[in-house]
């Protein structure tokens, strides 16, 4: 994993966190239809060109819900979601070009031209951040407090959905 942020992006609970990531979902590169639809709603809510529901794995960040991006996986060292899972509160870059830690990031500095990122962590009931619900734009933006709450509520919906699926998986195993 090539870290482009110039700082540690591995959280202290990494082992247990990864355990939970794989408990909830298979990281096989394929998105989930339900979460794709949810990403559409999120993008619509924020009038953003891109909205993602990501899970942060060992090497890659995988988008289980993807609205607006052609690929479903990004290197963990380049994805801003890796930063967002370090904090229990949403991570927001209103203008990424002004953030020192993002200067070498290929998404920001490269052709894609990422300017705005807001990501709320998806937190399991054990307190581990397995991924994010995030909104991305190519223009700098400001977010209101209620917008941040909205993003958090979507993250809540995602973990609830994953929990429900886990119950199903357990029931099937019995």
Partner 1 sequence: MTVNQVAPQSLNINTRFIKEYNRPDVGNWQYDVLNQKLFWSGRQFEIYGYKPGSVRIEPDYFISRTTHYTEVERINAIIEKAMLSGNDYNFRRRIIKGDGRIGFVETQAQIFRSPAGEVTKIIGLTIDLGNEEAERKLEYNDPLYFNTLYKDYKKSIYNEIYQFVYDERIAEDLCQEVFVKAWNNIWMYDPQKGKIYTWLINISRNHCKDYLRSKCHKNNKDNVSLHDCSYKFSNDVHDDYHSAELKDVLKKLPAALAEVTQLLFIQGYTQEEVARLLHIPLGTVKTRSRQAILYLRTSLALN
Site for partner 1 in 43-82 (CB under 8 A): 43-50, 67-71
Instruction: Give the shortest CB-80-to-partner 1 separation in angstroms.
Output: 14
Q: Between 14 and 112, whose beta carbon lies closer to partner 1?
A: 112
Per-residue x/- mask for partner 1, residues 106 to 135, rule CB under 8 A?
----xxx-----------------------
Binding-site residue total for partner 1 (CB under 8 A)? 36
Least CB distance to partner 1 at residue 86 (A): 24
Q: What is the DSSP string of the chain?
A: ----SSS----TTHHHHHHHHHHH---SS---HHHHHHHHHHHHHHT-SEEEEEEE-SSEEEEEEEES-S-SEEETTT-THHHHTTSSSPEEES-GGG-GGGTT-HHHHSTT---EEEEEEEE-TTS-EEEEEEEEESS-----HHHHHHHHHHHHHHHHHHHHHHHHHHHHH-
Q: Which residues bind partner 1 (CB under 8 A)?
A: 33-34, 37-38, 40-41, 43-50, 67-71, 110-112, 146, 150, 153-154, 156-157, 160-161, 163-165, 167-168, 171
């Amino acid at each position: 994993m090539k870290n482009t942020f110039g700082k540690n992006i591995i959280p202290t609970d990494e082992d247990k966190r990864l355990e939970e990531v794989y408990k909830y979902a298979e990281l096989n590169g394929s998105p989930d239809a339900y979460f794709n639809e949810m990403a559409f709603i999120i993008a619509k809510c924020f009038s953003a060109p891109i909205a993602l529901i990501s899970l942060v794995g060992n090497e890659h960040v995988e988008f289980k819900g993807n609205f607006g991006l052609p690929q479903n996986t990004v290197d963990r060292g380049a994805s801003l979601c890796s930063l967002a899972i370090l904090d229990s509160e949403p991570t927001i870059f209103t203008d990424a070009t002004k953030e020192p830690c993002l200067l070498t990031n290929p998404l920001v500095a490269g052709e894609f031209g990422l300017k705005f990122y807001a990501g709320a962590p998806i937190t399991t009931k054990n307190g581990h951040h397995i991924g994010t619900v995030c909104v991305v734009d190519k223009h700098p933006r400001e977010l209101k407090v209620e917008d941040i709450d909205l993003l958090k509520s979507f993250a809540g919906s995602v973990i609830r959905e994953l929990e429900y699926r886990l119950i199903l998986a357990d029931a099937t195993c019995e």
